[in-house]
Amino acid sequence: MRTHYCTDVTEKNIGEAVTVAGWVNSRRDHGGIIFIDLRDRGGIVQLVCDPQDSKEALEIAETVRDEFVLVAQGKVRARGEGLENPNLITGKIEIVVEKLVIENRSKPMPFDLGDEKVNEEIRLRNRFLELRTPKAFNIFKLRSKATIQVRNTLDELGFIDVETPILTKSTPEGARDYLVPSRVHPGEFYALPQSPQLFKQLLMVAGFDKYFQIAKCFRDEDLRADRQPEFTQIDVEMSFCNQEDVIKVAERLIYDVFTACGKEVPSTFPRIRYSEAMEKYGSDKPDLRFDMPMVDVIDIFANSTNEIFSEIAKDKKKNRIKALRCPNGDNIFSKRQMKSFEDYVRKFGAKGLGYFQMKEDGLKGPLTKFFSEADLEEIVKATQLEVGDVVFFGAGDKKTVWDYMGRFRLFLADQMQIIPEDKYEFVWVVDFPMFEVEDGRTKALHHPFTMPKSLDNIEDLEEIESVAYDIVLNGTELGGGSIRIHKEEIQEKVFELMGISKEEANEKFGFLLEALRYGAPSHGGFAMGLDRMVMLLAGTDSIRDVIAFPKTQKAQCLMTQAPSAVDNEQLKELSLRIRQPQA
């Protein structure tokens, strides 16, 4: 129907006859001549309906309203002098309409499409209208471009796109599964996959060698702002490989995708050991767009006459005392602000937050009295303090200190506005622990199919490292992976260390254990969150912006009203009954 998209009509088309189609973005009447900004997915072009050119077109133009659908035929001409609009690609031309057709009418919009402050409920209920802006469209264009690049890069590297089932059995990610009742097998359920983890490992056992999929995954969790019940992941697995091989594929993939989307990124990324990331940044997803590392000062604080500090310093394995230098902080923050920081860290388990100010004549602050001159000098040296700086201290159990000091580091940087917006800082976090012991229960930090570096020494399970790696971008975990266990005996040992009985392992993963007995090759891979990647590429801060029909925090689709009640007949067919809430 159309000959051009609106924004494809430019100076080079002057004098040509064109047909465009789209929505009325706005309409203005100037002395009997009607100007219409016509909008399609790319942007806007100006239509002119002048009775001198077409009386019929003008008459029709008089009846159009915002968001009517038009097809307009006419000649392209240069705008008059001084009438150009430098904000539009098409700002130097206009289309003199010869024929105008109203393809469809529109009621007045329920909200102003351009207004992002409109109540989210109204926007989500009318998502088909909210998406009707070039800004929204451009995000999905970017998403489409990114996914196609993912596929082409992996195809070029010899990976095969294989679809794994959506109706399947519980997967071992540990979150809650969405269940699907079976009609044919009363009382039985499928589970929607939390990831294709086991299937991709089985494809390696099948000898597929290099697999990928852009896979829908599902988790029935209480949603945080940046989570959705269904999400999309780039899923990759390969055989006969080591960590280096996998990282190379992931780096190539990220490089290609970001480059295709017009972002400059390096072709390889630095690496940091998990333990170093925790000690320096208090997080396994450090934001390295700024430095501000934490410094260990437990040895200095051991000499302190403050009993709390010296007590904590007694157990260096269990505890930490960390210093965080805030450059020029004494000049940036008021005393009251610095006090308020303590409230911030208390939310994350801190007992308090000590600090020193670096003045012309040395460290000042109420805590200095507990330290010798020499020790105070040591602190200045260790944290490289300069006059005007402030240094904060966190002390206590190491996991707690890492956590709140890591958060505080981000909080401070944000307050100081030192985090560059347009920078992409990637880092591989490597050498993750295999296990995490919490309340006496041993869990796999990644998942139980991750290859441990060694099981020779199992005295302290938390000391065992695994061949697992995460890719972190600007403090966000973009994805991660591992080399997997391909030997039955190692897999069994790992289950045993986690306290999973043979029966339980067999019931849950029997088919994987069985597969390992029939010539499983060494293999490994990774998964990356596509939604999150697109979010970072698009520079938006809500995952809902990059999902066409997102759900609310209560997992509802306000547009379709899903979930909803169903007929009793349907329940009967599924051999189900609704459990009435207890009074």
In the complex with its own copies, the residue whose CB is nearer, 88 or 555, is: 555
Q: Measuring CA to CA, which residue among 387, 385, 291, 389 is closest to residue 332?
A: 389
Q: Does 493 bind its own copies (CB under 8 A)?
A: no
Q: Does 207 bind its own copies (CB under 8 A)?
A: yes
Q: Does 249 bind its own copies (CB under 8 A)?
A: no
| Interatomic CA distance for residues 58 and 50, integer angstroms | 6
In what helix (H) or strand (E) does residue 571 lie, and over which residues does it extend? helix 568-573
- Contact status, residue 527 vs residue 195, Cβ threshold 8 Å: yes
Q: Which amino acid is residue 201, in one-letter code?
A: Q
Q: Does 67 bind its own copies (CB under 8 A)?
A: yes
Q: Does 568 bind its own copies (CB under 8 A)?
A: no
In the complex with its own copies, the residue whose CB is nearer, 171 or 400, is: 171
Helix, strand or coil, per DSSP, at residue 173: coil
From the CB of 106, what's the least distance to its own copies, in Å? 4
Q: Does 574 bind its own copies (CB under 8 A)?
A: yes
Say if residue 293 is preceded by a cis peptide, omega within 30 of 0: no
Q: Does 99 bind its own copies (CB under 8 A)?
A: no
Interacting residue with its own copies among 49, 57, 205, 380 (CB under 8 A): 205
- Tokens coding 408: 């505080």
From the CB of 45, what's the least distance to its own copies, in Å? 14
From the CB of 508, what's the least distance to its own copies, in Å? 10
Long-range contact set of residues 244-250: C-beta below 8 Å, sequence gap at least 24: 245/524, 246/469, 246/481, 246/483, 246/524, 246/525, 246/526, 247/428, 247/469, 249/154, 249/157, 249/526, 250/471, 250/479, 250/481, 250/526, 250/528
In the complex with its own copies, the residue whose CB is nearer, 49 or 485, is: 485
The stretch near its own copies (CB under 8 A) out of 200-208, 356-364, 406-414, 536-544 is 200-208
Q: Does 480 bind its own copies (CB under 8 A)?
A: no
- Contact status, residue 427 vs residue 288, Cβ threshold 8 Å: yes
Q: Does 449 bind its own copies (CB under 8 A)?
A: no
- Tokens coding 375: 């020790």
Residue positions in the annotated binding site for L-aspartate? Answer: 173, 219, 446, 484
Q: Does 176 bind its own copies (CB under 8 A)?
A: yes
Q: Which residues contact 216 (CB under 8 A, 6 or more apart)?
A: 166, 230, 231, 232
What b/e sequence results for 78-103 when a residue is b if at least 16 CB atoms lie within 10 Å of its CB, and e otherwise? eeeeeeeeeebbbbebbbbbbebeee
Q: Does 352 bind its own copies (CB under 8 A)?
A: no
DSSP state of 347: T
Residue positions in the annotated binding site for ATP? Answer: 219-221, 228, 477, 529-532
Interacting residue with its own copies among 52, 335, 554, 583 (CB under 8 A): 554
Number of residues that bind its own copies (CB under 8 A): 123
Q: Does 418 bind its own copies (CB under 8 A)?
A: no
Q: Which residues contact 484 (CB under 8 A, 6 or more apart)?
A: 201, 204, 449, 450, 451, 523, 524, 525
| Interatomic CA distance for residues 284 and 472, integer angstroms | 8
In the complex with its own copies, the residue whose CB is nearer, 409 or 523, is: 523
Residue 270's DSSP bridge partners are none
From the CB of 212, what's the least distance to its own copies, in Å? 9
Interacting residue with its own copies among 21, 324, 358, 427 (CB under 8 A): 21
| Interatomic CA distance for residues 156 and 162, integer angstroms | 15
| Interatomic CA distance for residues 5 and 97, integer angstroms | 15
Q: Does 486 bind its own copies (CB under 8 A)?
A: yes
Q: Does 114 bind its own copies (CB under 8 A)?
A: no
Interacting residue with its own copies among 48, 72, 191, 300 (CB under 8 A): 191
Interacting residue with its own copies among 122, 179, 418, 437 (CB under 8 A): 179
From the CB of 293, what's the least distance to its own copies, in Å? 37
What values do phi and psi take at 438, rounded to 5?
A: -130, 125
| Interatomic CA distance for residues 261 and 257, integer angstroms | 6
DSSP state of 454: -
CA 258 to mean position of chain CA atoms:
15
Q: Which amino acid is residue 354, in one-letter code?
A: G
In the complex with its own copies, the residue whose CB is nearer, 131 or 461, is: 131
In the complex with its own copies, the residue whose CB is nearer, 10 or 106, is: 106
- Contact status, residue 463 vs residue 436, Cβ threshold 8 Å: no
In the complex with its own copies, the residue whose CB is nearer, 209 or 276, is: 209
Site string for its own copies, 514-543 (x = CB under 8 A): xx-xxxxxx---------------------
In the complex with its own copies, the residue whose CB is nearer, 229 or 365, is: 229
157: how many CB neighbours lie within 10 A of its CB?
Answer: 16
In the complex with its own copies, the residue whose CB is nearer, 27 or 551, is: 551
Q: Which residues contact 19 (CB under 8 A, 6 or more apart)?
A: 1, 2, 3, 4, 71, 72, 73
In the complex with its own copies, the residue whose CB is nearer, 203 or 434, is: 203
In the complex with its own copies, the residue whose CB is nearer, 79 or 145, is: 145
- Tokens coding 98: 């010869």
- Tokens coding 117: 């402050």
| Interatomic CA distance for residues 506 and 510, integer angstroms | 4
Site for its own copies, residues 364 to 393, rule: CB under 8 A:
none
Site for its own copies, residues 42 to 61, rule: CB under 8 A:
none
The stretch near its own copies (CB under 8 A) out of 64-72, 274-282, 372-380, 390-398 is 64-72
From the CB of 104, what's the least distance to its own copies, in Å? 5
Interacting residue with its own copies among 10, 168, 306, 442 (CB under 8 A): 168
Residue positions in the annotated binding site? Answer: 173, 219-221, 228, 446, 477, 484, 529-532
Q: Does 199 bind its own copies (CB under 8 A)?
A: yes
Site for its own copies, residues 122 to 161, rule: CB under 8 A:
126-129, 131-132, 136-137, 140-141, 143-144, 147-148, 151-152, 155, 160-161
Q: Which amino acid is residue 57, in one-letter code?
A: A
The per-residue DSSP string of 210-224 comes to EEEEEEEEE---PPP
